[in-house]
Structure 1
Amino acid sequence: INYANPDSAPYGGASVSLLALWQQLASRPLTLSASLCGPEAPPARADATFKVTMVPGDGVGPELMTAVKEVFKSGDIPVEFEEFHLSEVQNMASEEKLEQVLTSMKNNKVAIKGKIHTPMEFKGELASYEMKLRRKLDLFANVVHVNSLPGYSTRHNNLDLVIIREQTEGEYSALEHESVTGVIESLKIITRKKSRRIAKFAFDYATKKGRSKVTAVHKANIMKLGDGLFLQSCAEVAQLYPKIKYENIIIDNCCMQLVQNPYQFDVLVMPNLYGNIIDNLAAGLVGGAGVVPGESYSAEYAVFETGARHPFAQAVGRNIANPTAMLLSAANMLRHLNLEYHSQMVSDAVKRVIKQGKVRTRDLGGYSTTGDFVHAVVENLRHRPVS
C-alpha cells in the first residue's frame, strides 16, 4: 500500500478491495506487515558512505549539530553531511534556499534537522518554512519516543511510550483570514484519507515494534465532524488489526492521565495540534525537551529531529544546551540507515553518560556544559552496552 495514496489499488490497479487487502496484510507474520511502516533504507555495506542532509535551524540547533558531527567523527561513522542553513529569523530565508534544502532531502532521502523558528508576527505569509518542508515532502507522520533514561529519576520511572502525530493538516493548515474587521476565522482541515493513513501508520508501527495497544486522542465530543471523522477512521483501521488493542481518549482527559498514570499508554495517535501539545507534556515526564528524540516520515523520506521542538534561543552561545535528544535522534537515524552497530554505539554512549551521573547539563540538575557532555559521550563510544 502506498502511504502517499492509501486508497489506491496496489500492483498497478489490480482489482483487490482495500478492506480485503488490509485484512490480508494485518494477518500476515510481523516481519511482512511491519515492512509497511515508513520508507525503506538501502542495505548497509562495509564500504558505503551515506549522504544525509543537515539543517541546523535556529536557537541552539547549530550547537547541537556540532555535537552530532563531533560524535560521528570520533566514532568513524560512515555518514557525510550536506549542510544547509535555513532560518526565518536570521535573514537566511529565501525560496531559493528552501528549494536547495528540498532538493538535497529528495536526493538523500534522509535528513537531520534542528528547529526552524517561526516568528510570531505576521509578515504576509501564513505558512512557515517548517510547514512548507512537511507539505512538499509529505512528512505526514511525526514519531516521538518517550523513554525514561537509565539513572535519571523522575516522578514516573521506566516509561516507554510513543506519540504519533499527523502533521500535514488539522489546525496547522495556514488557512486563516479576517472575515470582517476584528473577526478572524481559522480553518481546521481533517480528511478521511489522511486520518486513515496516520491510523494505519500507527498500527503498522505497533505491529513492527511488538507493541500491544494503540490509543486515538481526539475531541470528537465537541468537534463532532472534524474529530469525529478522525476517530471514525481510526476505529475502522483498528478492525484490521485484531491483535492490537484499540482505545480512544478525549484530549483533555489524556493530558491529565499522562500526568497521573502514563503507564496505561503504549502508542498514541492523534491530529496535528494535539500532538504538538502532548509531545511537550510527555517530554516533561522524562526530563524535558532536551532528552526526547523524534522523527518525521513520508512514504519516501525520513527526517530526524528532537521530539519536542524548541529553539532555546535564551541558551544560544552559553554552552548549556543538552545534546541528548539530538544525539539519540542521530542514533535512530543510523538505525534507519541499517547502521545498527554505529546506532547502538552512539545510543549506549549517551545513556551511559547519563546513567553514570557525573556529567549532566543544567536541565537535568547538573552543572556540566554542552562540551563536557559531548566529550563524555566520545570517551564512552567504544565501551560495552548499557544494561
Structure 2
Amino acid sequence: MARRSGSILSRLLANPPPSPFTAPTRSITYMPRPGDGAPRTVTLIPGDGIGPLVTGAVEQVMEAMHAPVHFERYEVRGNMRKVPEEVIESVKRNKVCLKGGLATPVGGGVSSLNMQLRKELDIFASLVNCINVPGLVTRHENVDIVVIRENTEGEYSGLEHEVVPGVVESLKVITKFCSERIARYAFEYAYLNNRKKVTAVHKANIMKLADGLFLESCREVAKNYPAITYNEIIVDNCCMQLVAKPEQFDVMVTPNLYGNLVANTAAGIAGGTGVMPGGNVGAEHAIFEQGASAGNVGNDKMVEQKKANPVALLLSSAMMLRHLRFPTFADRLETAVKQVIQEGKWRTKDLGGDCTTQEVVDAIEMASNSDARPLPKFGDWDVNDPATAEGFTVIFSKAGEDKKTGRSTSKTTSQRKQDAKPAVKKWLCFTFS
C-alpha cells in the first residue's frame, strides 16, 4: 500500500494540476460578419447636471480605446417642453443612443422628456443590472439581480386630470399586449443569459384587474420556458425581501412604477446607483444610460466640484458596445472599470474616496489602453487623421441598399433639417457585399 501511495504521489508531483489562478487561455474565436468592424454612429445626449461630466468620461475612454464608435451630439435639457424633432430623427437613424440624466421638474406642466423618448421610439423595456462590483464592500454578497421593467404604460401613462378643484385622477393603464411583450423579453433575456429564475412583481391582491392582467400575461409566457423557474411576489414583500435576502432574486419583471422602486432599492443594496449599468430597448432602438435613477442630476455642488461618479455610465457603455457587436471592446472597458474599483485608489466620494471625475476617468483610460490599437483605414478615408475624419458620420450598409429605407439605390437619402446643428454635418458611405 505504501509503494502504491508513493507511486500516485510521484505522478501528482510530476504533473501538478493547473492552478485556478493561472491566466485563462483565449476562448474559441469570435467570428464577425462582414462589415461588423464598421464604425457606428451613436446619438449622444449629455443631459443635465452631472450628465456632461459622465458622458464626457465615456467619450474620453472610447477615444483612448480606439473603439469604432462616433458620437452625434445633441443638447437637450430637462426643462424643454418636448424632445426636439431632430433628436428623435437622429435616434431613429442611428438606432442607438447614449444619454446622461435629464432632470424632470416636480409639478408644473413640463412632462418628462425621458418618457417622451421611450414612447416616441417605443422603447418598452428597461433593464438594470444590480450586481456586486469586486472591491466594493457591501452588506450583502452574491447579489446579481436584473430588473426588467415595462417602460410605456402603467402609472407613467401620463393620464392625469383634475376632476373638480381639489380632486385629481391619475390613471393606471395595463394592456395585455404590453404585459405579454415585457414578459416575453424577460424570459428571453433569462434564457439567453443562462438565468434560472424569473420573478413577477405585482400588487394584484389590491389592483385585481390591472395587476391581475399583468400576472396572467406573465403566467402564459412562462409556460413556454419550462426550464426557467417562475414565481410571483407582492411588491411590498419584495422590497422587504430585497433588503433582507437579495441573493434569492435573479431576473425580476415588473410594471412601470414598481420597477423604478425595485431597481433603485436593489442598486443601493448592491453598491449604489453610481455603479449600476442599465439600458432601454425596443424592437428597433436602444438607449443606454445610468441604470438606477440619476439622483445627482440636480446636485449643483457635485457639478461644481466635478466629482460625479462615471462608473455606471461607463459600464452602461460596455453594454452598448456588446449591443453594437463589439464584444472585445466591451470586455476591455468593463475589465478596466472593475480593475480601477478593485485597486481602491481612484474612487469618488460615494464609493469612499475623494477623487474627481477626471481622476477616475484617467485611471480607467490607462487601464483600458494597455493594448489599444489605432482604428483601421477605409478606402481613402483615415479615421485616425483629423484632417479627413473630423465632422463625418459613417454609414455602412449592404451593397445596393438605401441606407435609410433598404430600397435599391446608388446614393444615400439621409438629409438634415436646416435648423439642426449637431456636431456631425457630413456623410461618408462605405458599402460591403
Question: For the superposition of Structure 1 and Structure 2, which TM-score range results when normalised by the shorter chain?
Answer: 0.7 to 0.9
Structure 1 equivalent of residue 374 of structure 2:
none
Say if 2:57 is the partner of 1:57.
Answer: no
Say if 2:145 is the partner of 1:166.
Answer: no
| Runs of at least 5 residues in structure 1 that lack an aligned partner in the other structure | 1-41
Question: Aligned partner of 1:187: which letter?
Answer: L
Contact 2:274 2:309 in 1 (8 A): yes
- Deviation of 1:383 (Å): 4.8
Which residue, out of 302, 308, 320, partners 1:333?
A: 320
What secondary structure sits across from 2:134 in the alignment?
coil
Say if 2:138 is the partner of 1:154.
Answer: yes
2:321 and 2:171 map into 1 onto residues whose CA distance is: 38
Which residue, out of 355, 363, 367, partners 2:354?
A: 367
Larger Rg: 1 or 2? Answer: 2
Structure 2 equivalent of residue 107 of structure 1:
93
2:295 and 2:63 map into 1 onto residues whose CA distance is: 25
1:121 and 1:235 map into 2 onto residues whose CA distance is: 37
2:122 and 2:78 map into 1 onto residues whose CA distance is: 21
Say if 2:69 is the partner of 1:83.
Answer: no
Which residue, out of 204, 207, 210, partners 2:191?
A: 207
Which of structures 1 and 2 has the larger relative contact order (alpha carbons within 8 angstroms, sep 6+)? 1
2:273 and 2:370 map into 1 onto residues whose CA distance is: 27
Say if 2:58 is the partner of 1:68.
Answer: yes
Contact 1:59 1:311 in 2 (8 A): no
Say if 2:267 is the partner of 1:283.
Answer: yes
TM-score (norm 1): 0.85
Question: Aligned partner of 1:284: which letter?
Answer: G
Contact 1:143 1:294 in 2 (8 A): yes
1:309 and 1:100 map into 2 onto residues whose CA distance is: 26
Say if 2:335 is the partner of 1:348.
Answer: yes
Aligned pairs for 1:192-271 (under 5 A) are: 192-271=176-255
Question: Aligned partner of 1:114: which letter?
Answer: G
The alpha-carbon distance between structure 1 residues 344 and 195, as it changes in their structure 2 partners (threshold 3 A), is: same
1:130 and 1:162 map into 2 onto residues whose CA distance is: 21
Question: Aligned partner of 2:265: which letter?
Answer: L
1:248 and 1:179 map into 2 onto residues whose CA distance is: 35
What secondary structure sits across from 1:243 in the alignment?
coil
Say if 2:103 is the partner of 1:117.
Answer: yes
- Deviation of 1:46 (Å): 6.8
Contact 1:112 1:330 in 2 (8 A): yes
Same amino acid, percent of matched pairs? 51
The alpha-carbon distance between structure 1 residues 94 and 226, as it changes in their structure 2 partners (threshold 3 A), is: closer
Structure 2 equivalent of residue 129 of structure 1:
113
What secondary structure sits across from 1:102 in the alignment?
helix
TM-score (norm 2): 0.76
What secondary structure sits across from 2:84 in the alignment?
helix
| Runs of at least 5 residues in structure 2 that lack an aligned partner in the other structure | 1-31, 372-433
2:191 and 2:41 map into 1 onto residues whose CA distance is: 30
Structure 2 equivalent of residue 36 of structure 1:
none
Question: Aligned partner of 2:261: which letter?
Answer: I
Contact 2:64 2:369 in 1 (8 A): no
What secondary structure sits across from 1:348 in the alignment?
helix
2:34 and 2:60 map into 1 onto residues whose CA distance is: 22
Give RMSD over aligned pairs. 1.5
- Deviation of 1:117 (Å): 1.0
Question: Aligned partner of 1:72: which letter?
Answer: M
What secondary structure sits across from 2:237 in the alignment?
helix
2:86 and 2:128 map into 1 onto residues whose CA distance is: 27
Question: Aligned partner of 1:74: which letter?
Answer: A
What secondary structure sits across from 2:118 in the alignment?
helix
Structure 1 equivalent of residue 38 of structure 2:
48
Contact 2:47 2:78 in 1 (8 A): no
Question: Aligned partner of 1:308: which letter?
Answer: A
- Deviation of 1:277 (Å): 0.6
1:46 and 1:272 map into 2 onto residues whose CA distance is: 35
Structure 1 equivalent of residue 407 of structure 2:
none
Contact 1:321 1:370 in 2 (8 A): yes
Which residue, out of 348, 358, 365, partners 2:345?
A: 358
- CA distances 1:176-234 after superposition (whole Å, capped 9, x unpaired): 11111100010000001100110011000000000010000000000000001101110
2:162 and 2:81 map into 1 onto residues whose CA distance is: 27
Question: Aligned partner of 1:203: which letter?
Answer: F
What secondary structure sits across from 2:169 in the alignment?
strand
- Deviation of 1:309 (Å): 2.2
What secondary structure sits across from 2:205 in the alignment?
coil
- CA distances 1:227-262 after superposition (whole Å, capped 9, x unpaired): 011011101111111111000000000000001001
Structure 1 equivalent of residue 376 of structure 2:
none
